[in-house]
Structure 1
Amino acid sequence: MDWSLFDTAGHRKYLTEAERRAFIKAAKNQAPEVYTLCLVLKDTGCRLSEALALTADHIDLRAGVIVFRSLKKRRLGVHRAVPVSPTVLAELDRVHGVRAAQGAPSGGTSVRLWPWHRMTGHRRVKEVMEAAGVSGPHATAKGLRHGFGVAALERGIPITLLQKWLGHAKLATTAIYGDAVGAEERRMARKLWD
């Protein structure tokens, strides 16, 4: 596999934990629908196109998960459930009326939460990145996805669970996130500095 967390110039392609926090802080000052998109991207590691395809029926408020249709798969009907915090679910319900749409008999659950094209979603993410002071090749929705993968492994999430959440077909793809310099690696290196 020729995939890396660094570009050809050696710049990282993932957001650090501090950058992820700054991103969400900046997103809170945006329109509510921009904020919810940013929350979903940061807290699920989904692809931008997967987030933009979400409808109310993909939000399982009782189970506490968002169900993504894996758009990168070459066939229909491939889904994955990613657990999210009660805060994310509450914001999605508050801004997008998820509960009301799910209870409506008129099929309100088939309306996309964000009726934007991919480029509009990309622009919104870039605007928030700029407001957060995050720049470089990692200041993208994909950088958020990579940052989610790195953060999950740093916090001890089993790699097989992360593979499921990210929708990777091969474990080797997910294992790349272990190449980031994480907290544990820094603690080990500190022993050399003393």
Structure 2
Amino acid sequence: MLDQVRQRLRLRHYSVRTEQAYVGWIRRFILANGRRHPREMGGPEVEAFLTVLATRGKVAAGTQNQALAALLFLYRDVLGINLPWMDNVVRAKRPRRLPVVLSVPEVRRLLALMDGQAGLLAALLYGTGMRLMEALRLRVKDVDFARGEILVREGKGGKDRRVPLPQRLREPLAAAVERVAVLHAADLAAGHGQAWLPDALERKYPAAPGEIGWQYLFPSPGLSTDPRSGRLRRHHLDESVLQRAVRRARLRAGIAKPATCHTLRHSFATHLLESGYDIRTVQELLGHKDLATTQIYTHVLGRGASAVRSPLDL
């Protein structure tokens, strides 16, 4: 049955990460109910499973909703069961949290303590507002030095968008392209060098996987096996490399805020709004579908709580 779940997810072009998450939740649901088949269960078992996650597991609302989405996908799309209880399952209400934002001096201190590939990636996240995986999945062809922009392919929600290429990163990115070219030549000489291509592009353009333009801009130091095709390829850098580097730099910089890689994206949006850029422009650069998502950054601007004079100081 789990193989059927994987096939249905791939038929609908879900990402590998979503596939792993959904299969994991479905397996946990079955094991938690004594290995009973999902056809023998229904609303009460689903609600009990979600309740245990919240009370005993103390998971966040987003995690609980992800588990619910996996189970609903199982019943509706895999088993073909659409029962009234599926529409009545209560989703956990996600609390509204303000994002952690670094000040400009804090960003400078953080980036000054990072170097190499991790330092370039961190600067790119802050300079463009990209998400971590969007930056890691960049290909050589996505950086347009002539137009001064970067094309973000298959962002959140499967949307493409363009972000500005920071002038300070032109030379470091050009050097990164040269390093990729040298590494790619060595891979080709060793009988590898075939990059992964989405959908059916590899069949449509058989020579494309070996071209320099399709190679990852931030490649992994070693080869790895593709989990779906089983082929040995050079994938992009693992996200944990940058996450650990940012944490080390934050501690060395003495920044008490719980800043992560995604904090650089929050800081990008907030600093643009503070500089007077239109919120619609920021929304387009971030790739937000709803303007309300972008408006949350207006709550952390300097014109907010920090601009109010406390009565204690009067």
Q: TM-score, normalised by structure 1?
A: 0.79
In structure 2, relative to structure 1, the CA distance for the partners of 1:3 and 1:62 (3 Å cut) is farther
Aligned match for 1:112, one of 189, 204, 216: 216
In structure 2, relative to structure 1, the CA distance for the partners of 1:26 and 1:151 (3 Å cut) is same
Q: Deviations over 1:106-138 (max 9, x none)?
A: 61121112221122232222223233322432x
Unaligned runs of 5+ in 1: 7-12
Q: Are the aligned partners of 2:106 and 2:255 in contact in 1 as well (CA < 8 Å)?
A: yes
Larger radius of gyration, structure 1 or 2? 2
Q: Displacement of 1:24 after TM fit?
A: 1.6
Give secondary structure in 1 for the equivalent of 2:308: helix
In the alignment, is residue 91 of structure 1 matched against residue 172 of structure 2? yes
Q: Displacement of 1:2 after TM fit?
A: 4.5
Task: Look up the match of 2:191.
Answer: none
Aligned match for 2:123, one of 39, 50, 56: 39
CA distance in structure 1 between the partners assigned to 2:109 and 2:168 by the alignment: 17
CA distance in structure 2 between the partners assigned to 1:98 and 1:67 by the alignment: 20
Aligned match for 2:111, one of 6, 11, 24: 24
Task: Look up the match of 1:5.
Answer: 98
Unaligned runs of 5+ in 2: 1-93, 186-207, 220-236
After superposition, where does 1:1-194 map in structure 2 within 5 Å?
Answer: 2-6=95-99, 13-27=100-114, 30=115, 32-73=116-157, 75=158, 78-97=159-178, 107-115=211-219, 116-137=237-258, 139-182=259-302, 184-185=303-304, 189=308
CA distance in structure 1 between the partners assigned to 2:294 and 2:95 by the alignment: 13
CA distance in structure 2 between the partners assigned to 1:3 and 1:48 by the alignment: 22
Q: Displacement of 1:178 after TM fit?
A: 0.3
Q: Are the aligned partners of 1:23 and 1:129 in contact in 2 as well (CA < 8 Å)?
A: yes
Which protein has greater RCO, CA pairs closer than 8 Å, 6+ apart?
1
Give secondary structure in 2 for the equivalent of 1:14: coil
CA distance in structure 1 between the partners assigned to 2:181 and 2:277 by the alignment: 34
Q: CA RMSD in A?
A: 2.8
CA distance in structure 2 between the partners assigned to 1:3 and 1:128 by the alignment: 28
Give secondary structure in 2 for the equivalent of 1:62: coil
CA distance in structure 2 between the partners assigned to 1:2 and 1:187 by the alignment: 23
CA distance in structure 1 between the partners assigned to 2:169 and 2:300 by the alignment: 27
Q: TM-score, normalised by structure 2?
A: 0.51
In structure 2, relative to structure 1, the CA distance for the partners of 1:17 and 1:178 (3 Å cut) is same
Q: Are the aligned partners of 1:60 and 1:66 in contact in 2 as well (CA < 8 Å)?
A: yes
Quick one: percent identity of the two aligned structures?
Answer: 30
AA aligned opposite 2:308: A
Q: Are the aligned partners of 2:180 and 2:215 in contact in 1 as well (CA < 8 Å)?
A: no
